[in-house]
Structure 1
Amino acid sequence: MIDQLDSITHPFIVDVVDVVADGNCGYRCIAALLGLGEDSWPVIRNDLYKELNNWHDEYGRLVGGIDVVDKLKQSLLVEQPQSTANRNKWMTLPDIGYAIANRYNVKLQEGCPLSMVNIISSTHCYPQAQAWSSMYSSRMQAFAQLMNVTKSYVNLSDP
C-alpha cells in the first residue's frame, strides 16, 4: 500500500505495517506500531477523541476551524463491536495527523518535510508555539516544494 503515497514521501517512511483492511486500518496501524496489537484500534480512536476534545479550540485553529474538529471527532466514534467502518469513519491525514503526533509524542525523522500549519503564523497561538515558525519553516518549505504547492497572498492592509 506504500505506492498509494506519493513517491517523494517514501524516503521519509521508516516502518510499514500490514493490517486488516476494514476501514479501521489507519487506527490499526497506529496500535500495531505502538506495540498494542492491531486489535487495539478502538483504544486509538478513543485516545484521539479525548485529545481533540481536550484541546478543541487549539485544534480548531490548527486544522482550519471548529467545524473540522467536530467532524474529526465524529469520525472517531464507531459502534462496537464493528468489523468495518464506512468511509466517513476512515482516518484522514493530515487533519488527524497532528492529534496523533501530539497524543503519542511522535518524533519526526530528521529533515522530514512538514505540511503547512495554520498556527505557525497565527497571533492566536501559545507563546511557546510562536518559535515553531523558525524551527519548522524550512521543513514546511520543503513540503511545499515537494508537493508543488503554490499560494498567493494578498496584503489586506494595502490601500
Structure 2
Amino acid sequence: MKCPNSSVNMSLTFRMLKMMGCGYRCIAFLMGKGEQNWRQVREDMIKELRLRQGVYHGMYGPNTHYEKVLQALHLAPNEFATEEKWLCVPHMGHIVATMYQIVFVTLSNRGGATYFPLTDPVLNLSEHHIICLLLVNNNHWVKALISSDFPLPTVTPEWMYHCTVEARGWQLPYLDRMALFNELSRKFLFLLEFLFLFVAVKFLQILAL
C-alpha cells in the first residue's frame, strides 16, 4: 500500500481463518507454535495473569475485572467459545505482549493500538518480534504480516501508566512509526476504512465457502 502524497511504502498481507478461537489461533501461528496449539496461548496468558497478578490488578481496577479476564481465558475441552471467551483488547493485548516479550499490534477500522511488555527490560532491536492482528466486523481476528516500516498505532494509556521504568524504553525505536500512523490516520482515514471494507468482503467470501 502506498499513501497518496506520501513517500511511505507500507506492505501488509493477511490470512484468514474460518475456525473457532481465531484470535488465539492467529497468535499461535505468528509465534511459531502452529495454529492447532491455540489452547497453549490461552494457558500461557493465564500463567502470565497469575504470575504478575499485582500488576494486572492495578491495571484492571476492581478484583471482579481481573477475574472476568481470567475466566474469559479459561475454556473447557468441549466448550464452545462464546463472545465472552473471545480475545479482547486492550486488556488482553498487554498480557500477550508481556507474556511473549513481543510488540503486539492490533488494527481495526477505528484505529488500533501497539502493546509493549509491561515489565520486561528492553531487548536489542534485532531481537524484537512484532506480530499484528486485524479485527474484522468487530468479531473476527485476522493475522497480518507488516513491513518493517509499516506505521504503528500508539500505545495505550494503560501501558504508559502501568509499565515499569525498565520497560518504558520498548517504545523508543517505534516513536517515529507511531507518529506517522497518527499523521496518516488524520489525513487518509478513508484508506483505513477501505482496507477493512476489503478485508470484511474477503472474510464473508470465506464464510460462504
- What TM bracket, shorter-length normalisation? 0.5 to 0.7
Q: Tell me the equivalent position of 1:153.
A: none
> TM-score scaled by structure 1?
0.63
**2:93 paired with 1:97:** yes
Report the alpha carbon displacement of residue 13 of structure 1 after superposing the two structures with TM: 5.1
Cα separation, 2, equivalents of 1:95 and 1:112:
18
1:36 maps to a residue whose letter is: K
Cα separation, 1, equivalents of 2:184 and 2:50:
33
Q: Tell me the equivalent position of 2:47.
A: 50
More strand by proportion, 1 or 2?
A: 2
Cα separation, 2, equivalents of 1:12 and 1:51:
32
Report the alpha carbon displacement of residue 143 of structure 1 after superposing the two structures with TM: 6.5
User: Is 70-79 or 99-108 further displaced after alignment?
Assistant: 99-108
Structure 2: gaps of 5 or more residues: 1-9, 103-128, 131-147, 187-209
Report the alpha carbon displacement of residue 90 of structure 1 after superposing the two structures with TM: 0.6
Cα separation, 2, equivalents of 1:35 and 1:48:
16
> TM-score scaled by structure 2?
0.50
Report the alpha carbon displacement of residue 39 of structure 1 after superposing the two structures with TM: 1.6
Q: Tell me the equivalent position of 2:36.
A: 39
Report the alpha carbon displacement of residue 58 of structure 1 after superposing the two structures with TM: 1.1
Cα separation, 1, equivalents of 2:155 and 2:99:
18
Q: Tell me the equivalent position of 2:22.
A: 25
Distance change in 2, residues 1:145/1:102 (3 Å) = same
More helix by proportion, 1 or 2?
A: 1
RMSD over aligned Cα, in angstroms? 3.1
Cα separation, 1, equivalents of 2:16 and 2:98:
24
Q: 165, 170, 173: which is aligned to 1:127?
A: 165
Report the alpha carbon displacement of residue 139 of structure 1 after superposing the two structures with TM: 6.6
